[in-house]
A and B are shown apart, each in its own frame.
Chain A
Amino acid sequence: MLAAVRIVIARCSVDYAGRLTAHLPSAPRLLIVKADGSVLVHSDGGSYKPLNWMSPPCRLVEQPDRWTVTSKSGEILTISIEEILSDASFDLGIDPGLRKDGVESQLQETLAAQLSVLGEGWRLVRREYPTPIGPVDLMCRDGDGVSVAVEIKRRGEIDGVEQLTRYLELLNRDPLLAPVRGIFAAQEIKPQARVLAEDRGIRCVILDYDALRGAPRDEMTLF
């Protein structure tokens, strides 16, 4: 059972010797040995922070009354164990990672499903429409059948406008597509980016992710 998290409750004292020395007197504590090799010593308080810890890569040598954790740089965490109250291991498998709401791919997916936000009668040509310098987020046709390229950002800054400008320049060389207009869509757009975009004839659209997703607002607003 190597790749597993091990949770030990033990009465122990801890000594750390490295860049500084620290001592935790004897008390019941929670010891966590993670599959990546890190060792954490927690008390029942102090929020999420361990009292003491050793980050990987490090080596744990286990004796019945003493754990010695040595890091690559020679720091030593010594846990003197008086009594083990609980010792359990669990294989957590591969972690899918932290997913954040409102990332660009989700915004892209959500907006593609609700093109009416941009205008009436709009059709999606495709998401990730290829150009020679990378895909543009959405290619659409507006109500009059005119091509519109949409670049989606979480925070709309100047470099996003530049990126869309380059796409538009290339897309407009395609006689089957041209003229291609641009939309710069983001949850927030920096004033400078807006100025630059509007100066280049690119429309700016603020995306309200919660509203797009149909999440109920718990606050009532005037508009």
Chain B
Amino acid sequence: MKFQVERDVLAEAVAWTARALPARPALPVLAGMRLQAGEDLTLSSFDYDVSAQASLPVAVEEEGDVLVSGRLLAEITRSLPPRPVEVHTDGARTILTCGSAQFSLLMLPAEDYPALPDMPPAVGTVESDVFAAAVAQVATAAGRDDTLPALTGVRIEIEADTLTLIATDRYRLAVRELRWSPAKPDLSAAVLVPGRALADTARALTAGAEVSIALALPGENGDGMIGFEGGGRRATTRLLGGEFPRYQALLPDQVNATAELPAALLSESVKRVALVAERNTPVRLSFTPGQLLLEAGTGDEAQAAETLEASYEGDDIQIAFNPQYLLDGLTVMDSDTVRISFTAPAKPAVITGKPAADQAPDYRYLLMPIRLGG
């Protein structure tokens, strides 16, 4: 095998592919990254749950197929000087040369490397930027606790030309609707995708204009799988099983009070006031007509208070939130103005951007308050 490639192009593709390298490989070959030089260079990694593959144009002098330590290759390519890179095999070693630096890597047995799963059939495409932003908005609410595996996932509901992404960790729930282009207009499906893998993949697939989504539903052939492809990169992830809560019932159908205020000012203020909030203690929000008072800390500790101008309609309300959860929702809001809707101090609040007139917001962040004085 022998090829030349630009350092940045290689480093980026290797870094992307390295995401699917298992931290503790069950089989030694799974620690490897496969380099296949044909017309293009194809990089692959796989841990039986997640696979990643990147194709990049390189100048191939001699075709070949090698497996080298993925972690090491990723660290090397990240640290190379900005010069063209040449890779070739020499006996049982793969030699990587860049400028005056040379690395000689041991080869793992490529013939023992498992075949990557076939990409399931494509079901539609979505704009990569929109998709990445939507996934980031939702994945922030996904659980990180493996004792409730279904809650570590993001549910993707497909209904004709609308994708709905939902995640919840029981303390908050994020829902985002977005348009996409289904391959078949009457497609209807719902799957549960591991949240962290989805967030990583969506963020990394913004190189191309579009992301193609491929889906194999759980059935006789296994757990089901979702694939994403765009800009010469593709990733597959095994779907999660388990029951996802019926989230529609959690969205309050009645609103007794609504506040609107600038998103940036509110998040900055929450960050400031929360400095005195010990772990797991709330920030308290008191809304009165025209203003919001934020407070944190109690009598025995440091305390903070700040007043913001806010438009507010409804009876005065005092409500308390986990500051981090509140910030998580505010930072992913895609609007300069946030609207917070309340039912009661012990009922979840709904945070949305300020939608254009007569339009329902496409992103909703439902946040459970913390009991005051408890």
Contacts and interface: CB of A to CB of B under 8 A. Distances in A.
Contact of A194 (B147, B148, B172, B241): B241
B211 to A, nearest CB: 26
Contacts of B371: 218, 220
A48 interface: no
B242 A194 contact: yes
Contact of B241 (A188, A195, A218): A195
B370 interface: yes
A221 B148 CA distance: 14
A51 to B, nearest CB: 31
Interface residues of B, number: 23
Interface in A153-206: 187-189, 191, 194-195, 198, 206
Interface in B131-160: 146-149
Given A194-B241, A194-B242, A195-B223, A219 B370 contact: yes
A195 B239 CA distance: 12
A220 B346 contact: yes
Interface string B155-182: 0000000000000101111000000000
Given A191-B241, A194-B241, A195-B223, A220 B369 contact: yes
Contact of A222 (B149, B250, B346, B374): B250
B348 to A, nearest CB: 6
Interface in B253-297: none
B31 interface: no
A222 B241 contact: no
B173 to A, nearest CB: 6
A223 B147 contact: no
A189 B242 CA distance: 11
Size band of the A side of the interface?
Answer: 10 to 19
Given A194-B241, A195-B223, A195-B241, A218 B374 contact: yes
Given A220-B346, A220-B368, A187 B250 contact: no
A191 B149 contact: yes
A12 B170 CA distance: 56
A188 B348 contact: no
A194 B223 CA distance: 12
Contacts of B369: 220
Interface string A211-223: 0000000111111
A220 B370 contact: yes
Given A188-B147, A194-B241, A194-B242, A221 B374 contact: no
Given A191-B241, A194-B241, A195-B241, A221 B368 contact: yes
Given A191-B241, A194-B241, A222 B168 contact: yes
Contacts of A191: 149, 240-241
A188 B147 CA distance: 5
Nearest to A216: B374
Contacts of A221: 170-171, 368
A95 B139 CA distance: 48
B10 interface: no
B242 A188 contact: no
Which among A187, A189, A222, A223 has the highest number of chain B CB atoms within 10 Å? A222
Contacts of B173: 222
A74 B202 CA distance: 63
Interface in A117-139: none
B245 interface: yes
A198 B222 CA distance: 12
A223 B223 contact: no
A194 B33 CA distance: 30
B11 interface: no
A120 B366 CA distance: 32
Contacts of B171: 219, 221-222
B147 A222 contact: no
Nearest to B238: A191
A223 B241 contact: no
Given A194-B241, A222-B171, A206 B366 contact: no
A222 B366 contact: yes
Contacts of A223: 170, 245, 250
A194 B242 CA distance: 9
Contacts of B348: 222
A221 B250 CA distance: 11
Contact of A188 (B146, B370, B374): B146
B148 to A, nearest CB: 7
20 contacts: A188-B146, A191-B149, A191-B241, A195-B223, A195-B241, A198-B241, A206-B148, A218-B371, A218-B374, A219-B171, A219-B370, A220-B370, A222-B168, A222-B171, A222-B173, A222-B250, A222-B348, A222-B366, A223-B170, A223-B245
Given A218-B371, A219-B171, 16 more contacts: A191-B241, A194-B241, A195-B223, A206-B147, A219-B370, A220-B368, A220-B369, A220-B370, A221-B170, A222-B168, A222-B172, A222-B173, A222-B348, A222-B366, A223-B170, A223-B250
Q: Which 3 A-B pairs have the closest CB atoms?
A: A188-B147, A221-B170, A222-B368
